Chains A and B, each alone.
Chain A
Amino acid sequence: MVPPTEARVSRMLEGTTRSPDEVVVLVPPNLVECPVEKVAVNAVMAGCRPEYLPVVLAALETVCTDEFNMHGVLATTMSVGPILVVNGPIARQIGMNSGINVLGHGNRANSTIGRAVQLVLRNVGGGAPGGIDRGTLGHMGKQGFCFAEDEDGSPWTTLAEDRGFDRSQNTVTAFCGEGPNLVMDQLSRSPESLTRSLASSLRTAISERVVLGMDGMLVMSPEHMSRYRDAGWDRARFMAELTECLMVDTDSILGGVDGVEEGLPPEFAGHRVPKFRPGGLLVVHAGGPAGLFSAVIGGWKNGPGGSDPVTREITP
């Protein structure tokens, strides 16, 4: 933790053109007006460099919205938190990691941007663990979880493009999710096989008996992506094929099936439904150049009664 001295905070504020007293957001759960300077204090504490500050500010603008529902994300006993994905030229400019160990440690920007957001939520918003934050287990990403998409290494459109932005724009996308779960497939050589394999893991996100009500994120590694690049599959083709592989017979996930009481009520019998709602699976390309692993990140209750992913443009 870096002590936020006046000199350090002043230097941090040079990272943005915004006025120190401009109110950025109302921070849940206490809905406290948070000026740029207060964000800068917490960014110093987190270890941010000044050039990270615009990303921190934009990230707060994503999570402190009705759509993202940060109060609920804190208060739920489910162990989820904001996961931040940065797209656009700024990721390279500030030295973010989209490669080896992308979801882990070792990169200052990745490690501190998400940390700064979490500190603002706790210090300014009052969302303290054990107070409003009621996560049964929590996860390490609640220390801060931020990474960049590997855009240059991907043959596909980016997450931000998929969400209506273009590659020249700097954006941050907030997704409410758990910790990453590794998916291993070292033998699939065809895109069809790998898609079925990824689907088998995605079906178990949160629980195989949860369908439609919770979103997910797939972080696809470069070597897995190479299967699709080699076969000429674009994002749309992949999503169409994957969606078909993620259709679930409700009879297989009813309460009581296989001696497990968890599951859908009997009135849902006899249907075939998708695991995720339309648009409810976010796919990001990131990771080191070697390793036939991807990651599945389960979400939380989606929609107006929960949390929706939110993307905002990062401005200076």
Chain B
Amino acid sequence: MTTTILDPTSEQAPATRERVGRPESLAGLTVGLLDISKPRGDVFLDRVEERLTAAGATVARYAKPTFTKPAPADLRHEIATHCDAVIEALAD
């Protein structure tokens, strides 16, 4: 006699995508900096912006409304649309 065990999971598999290739140079690229809104994250990102700008990148700054929730879909879309690369920063 066969016993059937039911699946406790969502029975879904995440879609996989190839990562975008690592850029050879940052010169001329737009790099998004996403502040997750933890205290002093801006201090860290200010310094990162200085370094990126010196490397020839254009920096676009973004912030999540709160660090406790995922970035809103509109914000993710805006970053994906306008940026060639993104750096998400956590700091305390």
Q: Are A and B bound to each other?
A: yes
A interface residues, Cβ below 8 angstroms from B: 3-6, 9, 27, 29-30, 32, 34, 38, 41-42, 45, 69, 71-72, 75-76, 119, 123-126, 301, 304-307
The reply to whether A125 and B10 contact each other, CB–CB distance below 8 Å, is: yes
SS class, residues of chain B in contact with chain A: loop
The reply to whether A5 and B68 contact each other, CB–CB distance below 8 Å, is: no
Q: How many A-B residue pairs have CB under 8 A?
A: 53
**A227 to B8 Cα, complex, angstroms:** 47
Decide yes or no whether B21 CB sits under 8 A from chain A. Answer: no
The reply to whether A3 and B5 contact each other, CB–CB distance below 8 Å, is: yes
- Supposing A4-B5, A5-B4, A6-B4 touch, asked if A76 and B10 sit within 8 A by C-beta, the answer is no
The reply to whether B8 and A4 contact each other, CB–CB distance below 8 Å, is: yes
Measured between beta carbons, the chain B residues less than 8 angstroms from A42 are 8
14 other contacts beyond A71-B70, A123-B10, with CB at 8 A cut-off? A5-B3, A9-B6, A38-B10, A41-B8, A69-B69, A72-B68, A75-B68, A76-B68, A123-B8, A125-B10, A301-B68, A305-B68, A305-B69, A306-B68
Decide yes or no whether B16 CB sits under 8 A from chain A. Answer: no
Residue of B nearest to A43 (CB): B8
B interface residues, Cβ below 8 angstroms from A: 3-10, 12, 65-70
Candidates A5, A71, A75; contact of B5 at CB < 8 Å: A5
SS class, residues of chain A in contact with chain B: mixed
Q: Min CB distance, A256 to chain B, in Å?
A: 16
The reply to whether A5 and B10 contact each other, CB–CB distance below 8 Å, is: no
Q: Min CB distance, A304 to chain B, in Å?
A: 8
Candidates B7, B65, B70; contact of A41 at CB < 8 Å: B7
Measured between beta carbons, the chain A residues less than 8 angstroms from B4 are 5-6
Measured between beta carbons, the chain B residues less than 8 angstroms from A9 are 6
Measured between beta carbons, the chain B residues less than 8 angstroms from A38 are 8, 10
Residue of A nearest to B4 (CB): A6
Measured between beta carbons, the chain B residues less than 8 angstroms from A72 are 68-69
